[in-house]
Structure 1
Amino acid sequence: MDLSFLGVPVAPMVRVHGGAANRMFRLDTEQGSFAVKELNVVDRREAYRVEDVFRLERAAFAAGIPMPEPIAADSQILVHRWVEGEKVPEAPVSAAYAFEIGEILARLHALDVDWPQEPVEPLTPRDWPELAERAMATGQPWADDLADRVETFLAIADFVDDCRLPGPMVLTHKDIQPWNLLAREGRPVLLDWELSGMSDLSGELGSTALGLAKGPGFDDIEPAIFGSVLEGYVAGGGVLPRPGPSWFVFMIGGWLGHTRWNILRCLAGVEAGSGPELAQSQLSAGAGVRGLPDMFGRLAEFQTLLV
């Protein structure tokens, strides 16, 4: 994408490190500051629906959803107005912040935005025994952990494919987690809309509420914060789906796919031309190999949050 329409740069474009899927840069020009995201086009897990997502972002921004202004998009580059704010740590947020996220979700789900029918998702891959063997053969730092948990990963894949979703399906962000949020004067700003699409409502609510109510692991979940997200959703006009394991299947399935993707990048053993660096993929693979079985083993505990 030719970025000259953003104005004359007043400083060189600067890389902003830390992305787990793409690469981000800040560009300061005479017209202001912009976030320029270079999309990973080498080995995305699924095709990026540029026009559809950009249309949703424009509608959400026009409706007052707190987010960076979407400026331009093509198959390789996304441009948004740069937003200053504080990073949200991976720790329970305040009750007020969680409540407002719930309200924002209700407003987002109420938008009338055309969205093409999405293809039927394929069955979850079950090549975990092979991946474990390759990890051992190539000396990956998390290889022993993966080998010990192969049966658990196969059980997780079964759960993802077999869990019944109560509906309804909603058009939504699909990845409202601390790393995709800012706090500006204590209030939320939603970042990184690339995964937007149709999702079962229970999975979207469960993933969001759990992500905002816990720390890096699952030992310090605050039920009151989980409940604040749901209270905000109802206050914003939303209707809660019935409780059940479906509230957590989207989070587990997404993490499973992200872990497998990073494992494959690690097994390749080379820096890809786009996306996260190999060191970041190693961190993500190790976190998934160790964290996913823990999360899967706590499903019954998580469901008590819905009472």
Structure 2
Amino acid sequence: MNLSHLGAPIRPITRVEGGFANRLYRLDTEEGSFAVKEMNVLDRRWTYHFDDVLRLERAAFAAGIPMPEPISASEHTLVHRWVDGEKVPEAPVSPSYAFEIGEILARIHALGIEWTHPPIKAQVSRDWPQLAARASETGQPWADELASHTESLLAIAEFVDTCHLPGPLVLTHRDIQPWNLLSRDGRPVVLDWELSGMLDLSGELGSTALSLAKGPGLDDVKPAVFRSVLDGYVANGGTLPPTGSSWFAFSISGWLEHTRWNVVRCLAGTEATTGPGLALSHEAVWNGVRGLPDIYRRLPDLETLLP
């Protein structure tokens, strides 16, 4: 990584643990502190339009969206000014925090930035039986669990592939989740914009509201927190799309493909040089294989959260 434009380092660059797709480092120089993200280039699951994402980020930052200042972007490296704040746990946030996230979404959607790239089409993989067989042959610790849920994963793939998306499409962040947020003085800071692009509005609102209203599972979903995201969106000029299962299709499709991606990484059996470590990939597989059938089964209950 060529980071000479950030100034002379005052201490060695250090890796920040975590990261579900890329690797993050902190660099302290005479010019300040920076978050340096090393982008995964080995098995990237989407096209990263770094020039356009940087343009969107700069417009959002200039409009006062609470986020780290974007510094530079390339296919391999993404740099922001470092922001101190508290990590947001995977647990229901406060209604006021959720309300402000809704307001932020409305402000992002109203930026009016030109975007020429088509929406990222959900990848619907149906090779779960083959992956389960390979997992068994290679002695993966979750092989039996995957085999027992293969039919459910195929049903989820069918749901994702056939779910009607009512529109409209909006240019947005696409991944506002607890792990992409900080809390600073009790208020949100939005991180990790590299997935930005066009998305069906129902998927953006449903994914965001659900992630902020629940813990790691679905046993403690807080309807008041879910509704607060939507209230904040409407209060800042947004219009809610029609109610339906499409509100959760984007979240489920992303989790399904993320699980498959980590299954393939685990089957390789070696530590990749970019992206998550092997232990984190195994954890992601366990979470996906157990959690996806549960969220799919509970779709009718989740739809009761909608206005």
Distance 2:142 2:261 in 1: 15
- 1:122/1:302 Cα in 2 relative to 1: closer, same or farther (>3 Å)? closer
Structure 2: runs of 5+ lacking an equivalent: none
**Residue 121 of structure 1: CA displacement?**
2.8
Distance 1:211 1:280 in 2: 20
**Residue 2 of structure 1: CA displacement?**
2.3
**Residue 240 of structure 1: CA displacement?**
0.3
Provide the residue aligned with 2:19 in structure 1.
19
Q: How many residues align?
A: 307
**CA shift digits 1:284-307 (9 cap, x unpaired):** 111101111101111000000014
Structure 1: runs of 5+ lacking an equivalent: none
**Residue 114 of structure 1: CA displacement?**
1.3
Provide the residue aligned with 1:126 in structure 2.
126
Amino acid at match of 1:219: D
**Residue 4 of structure 1: CA displacement?**
1.4
- 1:258/1:123 Cα in 2 relative to 1: closer, same or farther (>3 Å)? closer
Provide the residue aligned with 1:200 in structure 2.
200
- 1:137/1:271 Cα in 2 relative to 1: closer, same or farther (>3 Å)? same
Is the Cα contact below 8 Å between 2:119 and 2:198 reproduced in 1?
no
The alignment-based identity, stated in percent, is 68
**Residue 123 of structure 1: CA displacement?**
5.5
Provide the residue aligned with 1:87 in structure 2.
87
Q: Which moved more, 1:49-58 or 1:31-40?
A: 49-58
Is the Cα contact below 8 Å between 2:119 and 2:199 reproduced in 1?
no
Amino acid at match of 1:34: F
**Residue 116 of structure 1: CA displacement?**
1.3
**Moved segments of 4+, more than 6 Å:** none
Is the Cα contact below 8 Å between 2:212 and 2:226 reproduced in 1?
yes
**CA shift digits 1:217-236 (9 cap, x unpaired):** 00000000000000000001
Distance 1:54 1:140 in 2: 39
- 1:120/1:187 Cα in 2 relative to 1: closer, same or farther (>3 Å)? closer
**Residue 118 of structure 1: CA displacement?**
1.6
Provide the residue aligned with 2:275 in structure 1.
275
Amino acid at match of 1:261: W
Provide the residue aligned with 2:102 in structure 1.
102
**Residue 113 of structure 1: CA displacement?**
0.9
**Residue 117 of structure 1: CA displacement?**
3.0
**Residue 46 of structure 1: CA displacement?**
1.4
- Give the TM-score taking structure 1 as reference length: 0.98
- Give the TM-score taking structure 2 as reference length: 0.98
> CA RMSD for the aligned pairs?
1.0
Provide the residue aligned with 2:160 in structure 1.
160
**Residue 98 of structure 1: CA displacement?**
0.2
**Residue 249 of structure 1: CA displacement?**
0.1
**Residue 172 of structure 1: CA displacement?**
0.5
Secondary structure of the 1:182 match is strand
Distance 1:230 1:167 in 2: 16
Secondary structure of the 2:65 match is coil
Distance 1:123 1:238 in 2: 28
Provide the residue aligned with 1:45 in structure 2.
45
Q: Which moved more, 1:51-60 or 1:96-105?
A: 51-60
Secondary structure of the 1:305 match is coil
**Residue 192 of structure 1: CA displacement?**
0.5
Distance 2:257 2:223 in 1: 27
2:35 counterpart of 1:35? yes
**Residue 122 of structure 1: CA displacement?**
6.8
Matches within 5 A, 1:1-307: 1-118=1-118, 121=121, 124-307=124-307
Distance 1:257 1:210 in 2: 19
